[in-house]
Amino acid sequence: MCIMESGYIAGFDIGGTKSSVILATRTGELIDRVSARTEIELGPMATLARLIRDTRSIVAARGLSVSDIDGVGVCCGGPLDSASGVILGPANLPGWNPVPVVEIVERGLGRPATLLNDADATALAEFLFGAGRGKQNIVSFTWGTGVGSGIIIGGRLYSGTRGLAGEIGHTTYVPGGRPCGCGKRGCIEAYASGSSIVRIATEGVADGIQTALSRLDEIDGLAVCEAARAGDEFAIEVLKGAARAMGRAVSIAAHAFDPELITLGTMAVHAGDLLLLELLRTVEEEVWPEIRAGLEIVATPLGDRTQDLAAVAAGMARLGGLG
Amino acid sequence: MCIMESGYIAGFDIGGTKSSVILATRTGELIDRVSARTEIELGPMATLARLIRDTRSIVAARGLSVSDIDGVGVCCGGPLDSASGVILGPANLPGWNPVPVVEIVERGLGRPATLLNDADATALAEFLFGAGRGKQNIVSFTWGTGVGSGIIIGGRLYSGTRGLAGEIGHTTYVPGGRPCGCGKRGCIEAYASGSSIVRIATEGVADGIQTALSRLDEIDGLAVCEAARAGDEFAIEVLKGAARAMGRAVSIAAHAFDPELITLGTMAVHAGDLLLLELLRTVEEEVWPEIRAGLEIVATPLGDRTQDLAAVAAGMARLGGLG
C-alpha cells in the first residue's frame, strides 16, 4: 500500500436526517464540516447538489481548489452497489432508488468518487486512522441503531459476493425470538442494538416492571443508560442482555475470521462503562482461548469522529490499492 | 491464476489411523494411492520416511521420475503452522510436536512441499476440482467426526491471523449446553458432528428411550442412519437435531462471508437424504433472503475423493498464486 501524504479527501456522509460534507487530509486530520438537513421531500438531486456546492465553498474558503481533492467518499446505509456506485433505496432515504451517486458526484466535482455502505466505510476508517493501523485482519462493528460490521482481510476491504458480508447482526440468537427489523425473528440485532434496548425497556415498563424508567413519557437509549448509572436494576439488566447478545456477535466474528482486532462503535463509545464488562464476559465464555489470546477487542478510538472519518476513508478506498 | 496443465502432484494425507500417498494430475485426476497404518508408536519419521519411499515407488511404477512432481501437499489435522510447515501436535497424532514436515519432505523428495490443515486443504480442493470451480468466495464445511471449515475469499485461501478462521463449529449454539471436545460448552460441533450424533444417541439409549438402537452393543453413525432409514423415530430426531445445528453453522457462514457457495462434506455425502432437508429448512428460516438468493448450498460433488483431492490441492497451494 502506498498512500501519498499530500492532498485532501472530501467525504459525503448521507443520512436520513442530515447530510454532511467533510474535508480532511489523507492522514485523517479533519479540516472542516458542513451539515444540513437531508431534504428527502425534494429528492436526491437537491441534497447532492447542495453537498457538491458546499464542497466547493469549503475548499475555496481554505484557499484550495477542487483539484486539490484526491478522492470523494460517499457513505450511506445499504442497500447500494459499491462497484457501480449506485444507491438502491436505503430505508432511511426513501426515493433514493436508484441514484447513480458516483457518476453525479464525479460529474459535479470532476474528482474520482467512491460509494461505500456505512459499515464498510467504518472498517476502512478503523484500518486507516484508528485501532487497525498496521493490522491486516479486522472486524469493525457499528453498534448503534443497528448492528453492522465491516471486514478488512489481508489489508483490503472484504464486502462479500453481494456486498452483504459481515451481516452477523442478523444471525439467529434466539430461534423464534423477538421480531427483527429485517423481517426475521431472534436476530442478534433484535437484542443488541440501540433501538432494541429502547424497545425492550419500553415493553418492560408497559408490563409494569418496577423501574425509574416508568416515570418517563418516552424512553430513549440515553434514559436507559442514565437509569442504569443511577442503579436502576431493570435498566442494568436490559443493558446486560444487549451486551451478551453483542458478545455473541463478537464471538461469531472471532471464530469466523480469526482477526487481530475487533472494534465496537457508538454504544461501546458512549456506554462502554455499562456494556463492555458483560460483553467481554460472554466473549471469555464463548471464544476459543487460542483465538481469544491474540485478539484485541476495543471500543473504537475514533469515538465521535467515526462517521466523519468513515466518509473520508471511503474517498480513499480506490486510492493505494485498498478497495 | 495460471496453472499449467502438465505435471503431477503428490499428496500426503496423514491421519491418526492410516496415512496415504496420492498421485494425481494437476487437473485432479487421481492416478494412484498407497495407504498404510500410521505407526504412531514409531514416531513421525517412520511414517514420513515410508510416505517418501512410497512416493518414489508409485512414480517409478508409472515410468515417471520424482522431478515430474510439481508439488507435494501434506494434509493433517491442526494445530499446525502452515507458513513454516510445522505440525504442532494434532490430537490424533500424539508425539508429532513439533514436526518440520515441509523441510523433511522437501529434503526427502527434492520437490516443493506445502502443509495445510484438513479444512483448508478441502476448501482448496473444492475450489480447484469441485463445486467451487470458477467461483471466488467459498466456505467449505468438513462435516464428519468434527465440524470444520475452510474459506476461499477472492479466489485465495483465507486462514485467518493464526490459521483459525472458519472455526464456526465452535461458536455457541446452546449457552451452557453439551460439553464439546474443545473444552467449552454448547458449541455447534457438540450437536452437529458425527461423534456428537453417536454420543447423543448412546445417551438416549442409556436413558431408556424407545428405539431400535437399544438392541445394539455399540452405536455408531452408520447404525443411527440405518435406524433412521428404517423409520426409527428417535434416530430420526437425533439426526434432525444435528442437521439443525449444522444449519446454524451454514447460516453463520452465510452472514459472515456472503459467499457464492457453501459445500458440506462427509455426512452430507453419506446421509444427505436424512440431513439436508432439515438443514435447509433451518437455513431458510435463519438466512437473510438477499444472501440466500445468490447462495448455492450443496453436498460436495467430490464425494469419497474429497480427502485425497484435499492432499493434492495442498500440493498446488503455492503454485499459481492460490495460497
Chain A contact present for B229, CB below 8 A = no
Render the burial of A7-19: b for 16+ CB within 10 Å, e for the rest: ebbbbbbbbeeeb
Do the beta carbons of residue B117 and residue B87 sit within 8 Å?
Answer: no
For A145, what's the count of Cα atoms within 13 Å in the CB-facing half-sphere? 8
Helix or strand or coil: residue A26?
coil
Closest by Cβ to A167, choosing from B136, B153, B255? B255
Q: Compute the distance between CA of residue A192 and CA of residue A214 in angstroms, rounded to an integer.
A: 21
Whether residue B321 is predicted with pLDDT greater than 60 in this model: the reply is: no
Q: Do B160 and A137 touch (CB under 8 A)?
A: yes
User: What band does B3 get if pLDDT is binned at 50, 70 and 90?
Assistant: very low
Closest by Cβ to A290, choosing from B154, B162, B248? B162
Whether residue B11 is predicted with pLDDT greater than 90 in this model: the reply is: yes
pLDDT at residue number B6: 60
| Shortest CA gap B156–chain A (Å) | 11
Cis omega (within 30 of 0) for bond into B98: yes
Mutate to test the interface with B, among A82, A171, A182 (most CBs of B within 10 A): A171
C-alpha triplet B251, B256, B257: angle, nearest 5°? 100
pLDDT at residue number A320: 66
Q: Which residues of A touch B240 (CB under 8 A)?
A: none
Mean pLDDT of A203-209: 97
pLDDT at residue number B2: 43
Q: Which residues of B touch A251 (CB under 8 A)?
A: 171-172
> Distance of CA B110 to CAs A137, B67, B102, B107, B166, Å?
34, 8, 11, 5, 33
What is the count of residue pairs from A and B with beta carbons less than 8 Å apart?
A: 122
Q: Which residues of A touch B252 (CB under 8 A)?
A: 168, 171, 252, 256
User: What band does A6 get if pLDDT is binned at 50, 70 and 90?
Assistant: low
Q: Do A162 and B258 touch (CB under 8 A)?
A: yes
Mean pLDDT of B280-304: 96
Q: Do B184 and A286 touch (CB under 8 A)?
A: yes
Mean pLDDT of B101-107: 98
Q: Which residue has the higher pLDDT, A320 or A89?
A: A89
For B11, what's the count of Cα atoms within 13 Å in the CB-facing half-sphere? 34
Q: Measuring CA to CA, which residue among A168, A244, A177 is closest to residue B176?
A: A244
Query: What is the amino acid identity at position A140?
Result: S
Do the beta carbons of residue A323 and residue A157 sit within 8 Å?
Answer: yes
pLDDT at residue number B314: 98
Mutate to test the interface with B, among A251, A257, A291, A295 (most CBs of B within 10 A): A257
Do the beta carbons of residue A98 and residue A87 sit within 8 Å?
Answer: yes
For B148, what's the count of Cα atoms within 13 Å in the CB-facing half-sphere? 23
Average pLDDT for chain A: 95
Whether residue B96 is predicted with pLDDT greater than 80 in this model: the reply is: yes
Give A281-311 pLDDT, tens digit per residue. Answer: 999 999 999 999 999 999 999 999 999 999 9
User: What band does A235 get if pLDDT is binned at 50, 70 and 90?
Assistant: very high
pTM listed for this prediction: 0.94
Mean pLDDT of A74-93: 94
Give A242-290 pLDDT, tens digit per residue. Answer: 999 999 999 999 999 999 999 999 999 999 999 999 999 999 999 999 9
Chain B contact present for A159, CB below 8 A = yes
Q: Compute the distance between CA of residue A169 and CA of residue A136 in angstroms, rounded to an integer.
A: 23
Q: Measuring CA to CA, which residue among B13, B59, B58 is closest to residue B36?
A: B13
pLDDT at residue number A4: 47
Chain A contact present for B158, CB below 8 A = yes
Mean pLDDT of B229-257: 98
Q: Which residues of A touch B253 (CB under 8 A)?
A: 256
Q: Which chain B residue shows the shortest CA-CA distance from A294?
A: B162
Q: Do A136 and B168 touch (CB under 8 A)?
A: no
pLDDT at residue number B4: 47
Mean pLDDT of B109-136: 97
Whether residue A323 is predicted with pLDDT greater than 60 in this model: the reply is: no
Chain B contact present for A137, CB below 8 A = yes
Q: Which residues of B touch A182 (CB under 8 A)?
A: 288
Closest by Cβ to A160, choosing from B167, B257, B289? B257
Give A218-232 pLDDT, tens digit per residue. Answer: 999 999 999 999 999
Chain A contact present for B164, CB below 8 A = yes
Whether residue B322 is predicted with pLDDT greater than 70 in this model: the reply is: no
Contacts of A206 (CB under 8 A, 6+ apart): none
Q: Compute the distance between CA of residue A8 and CA of residue B95 in angstroms, rounded to an integer.
A: 58
- Indicate whether this complex's ipTM tops 0.90: yes
Q: Compute the distance between CA of residue B277 and CA of residue B240 in angstroms, rounded to an integer.
A: 9
Whether residue B194 is predicted with pLDDT greater than 50 in this model: the reply is: yes
Helix or strand or coil: residue B72?
strand
User: With pLDDT > 70 as the criterion, what percentage of chain A qualifies?
Assistant: 97
Q: Compute the distance between CA of residue A107 and CA of residue B309 in angstroms, rounded to an integer.
A: 52
Q: Do B260 and A161 touch (CB under 8 A)?
A: yes
Contacts of A257 (CB under 8 A, 6+ apart): A137, A139, A151, A153, B160, B165, B256
Mutate to test the interface with B, among A167, A180, A184, A295 (most CBs of B within 10 A): A167
Q: Compute the distance between CA of residue A180 and CA of residue B254 in angstroms, rounded to an integer.
A: 18
Mean pLDDT of B104-118: 97
User: What band does B320 get if pLDDT is binned at 50, 70 and 90?
Assistant: low
Q: Measuring CA to CA, which residue among A85, A105, A98 is closest to residue A19?
A: A105
Q: Which chain B residue shows the shortest CA-CA distance from A254?
A: B165
Give A122-157 pLDDT, tens digit per residue. Answer: 999 999 999 999 999 999 999 999 999 999 999 999
User: What band does A5 get if pLDDT is binned at 50, 70 and 90?
Assistant: very low
Q: Compute the distance between CA of residue B254 and CA of residue B260 in angstroms, rounded to an integer.
A: 9
User: With pLDDT > 90 as the criterion, what percentage of chain A qualifies?
Assistant: 94
Q: Which residues of A touch B91 (CB under 8 A)?
A: none
Chain B contact present for A153, CB below 8 A = yes
Give B164-188 pLDDT, tens digit per residue. Answer: 999 999 999 999 999 999 999 999 9
Q: Do A164 and B258 touch (CB under 8 A)?
A: yes
pLDDT at residue number A285: 96
Q: How many Cβ atoms from other residues are within 10 Å of residue B192's Cβ? A: 28
| Shortest CA gap A34–chain B (Å) | 35
Mean pLDDT of B131-152: 97
Whether residue B73 is predicted with pLDDT greater than 70 in this model: the reply is: yes
